[in-house]
Amino acid sequence: MSDDKSDKLRSDGGTQTNTIESSLQEITLTKRIKWGMAFALSVVFGFIFFEALAEVGFSVSEILYYWPEFQDALGDFFPQTTLFGLPFVDFGEYWQFIQSRDLFGAAIVTLAMGFAGTVLGIPGALLLGVLGSERVTPYPFNFIFRGTMSVIRAIPALVWALIYIPLGGVSPFTATLAIGTDTMGNLGRLFTDALEEVEDGPIEAIESTGANRRQTVVFGMLSQVFTPFIAWTMYILEINTRIAVTMGLIGGGGIGYILQTQRSLFKYTNMMATIIVIFVLVISVELVSQRVRSYIRGEEEEGLSVLELIIGFPQRMARSIWE
């Protein structure tokens, strides 16, 4: 009897050992597969990266060749003076150009382009956004309006400005139209997403009173997303202000046009003075927008700090060129 128990124990122990060894082999094989896939992906990524560098003609030797010229340009960007015997940036030269070219006046034109374009785009964004929601327009007809917004969003605002050239040339007028069109696509999509998340309770309550479809949409749905609508509109205003700056790079007027003119003349000191005014304009609009959104949302959003806005300024400006 004891021999049978011993044989059974040895058999069970052998089975457990085989199971453990099998599990270890599977784990080892899984790790090898993961490492192999990671290596393959790294090779593919590296190949695509170097092909991209070759496609754009990236060259370290060219950077080294033109580096002295770049250093000279940096010296012009930041003209030197002395303060208490120490080297310091000559802000007097910046201020002289700001006054002579009325850069703050040009900044107001840019702000007007961004603000007017946002307001012009709100009605279309609201219409497309509401009709694009499946809660309002049955599937698949709602995709007609979603598709319209997708087409608008797929074309950058700069391209819309070029499309509108026959209406009035390259001017603040056509730039404003382009911003308004871009707003319809971007803000409309945000409106649609907000409507998809509304609660059913208020809608059913409005329907129970015998309200028609239009009244249900207005009082049962739009009333729930009134605050998000304002918040998203303020956010789009931030983007449109940066876009309005970039419109000047193609001759759309405003402070961006002055920046482009000074760049073509290689007046780097004047360029830097213009960039400083652009920085003040964009950061001011973003601060106001952040505070308004924080106020209407209560504690839901505290907004970015001034330091975070300053650090992220170059990236947001670059992204706005093709938004």
Tens digit of pLDDT for each residue in 148-160? 999 999 999 999 9
Q: Which tops the pLDDT comparison, 152 or 13? A: 152
Residue range 285-299: mean pLDDT, rounded = 81
Does 322 score more than 70 pLDDT? Answer: no
Residue 20 vs residue 155, higher pLDDT: 155
Answer whether residue 128 shows pLDDT above 80: yes
Q: Which two tokens stand for residue 262?
A: 């000074």
Task: Tell the residue number behind the tokens 């700001």, with chain if given.
Answer: 98
Average the pLDDT over 40-64 and give the result. 91
- Residue 300 has what pLDDT? 46
Give one DSSP letter per residue of 197-256, joined into a string: T--HHHHHHHHHTT--HHHIIIIIIGGGGHHHHHHHHHHHHHHHHHHHHHHGGGT--SHH
pLDDT of residue 91: 87
Above pLDDT 90, what percent of the chain? 41
Q: Is the pLDDT of residue 7 over 60?
A: no
| pLDDT, tens digit (0-9, with 9 covering 90-100), for 215-274 | 777 777 777 888 888 889 999 999 999 999 999 888 888 999 999 999 999 999 999 999
96-320 — its CATH code? 1.10.3720.10
Which of 297, 320, 280 shows the shortest CA–CA distance to 182?
A: 320
Tell me the residue ranges of DSSP E strands in the chain: 80-83, 86-89
226-247 helix and 268-297 helix, angle to the nearest 10 degrees = 180
The pLDDT assigned to 92 comes to 87
Do the beta carbons of residue 283 and residue 310 sit within 8 Å?
yes
Mean pLDDT along residues 278-289: 91
**Average pLDDT of the residues of the chain:** 83
Confidence class of residue 306 from pLDDT cuts 50, 70 and 90?
low
The predicted pLDDT at position 13 comes to 54
Q: What average pLDDT does this structure show over 66-80?
A: 87
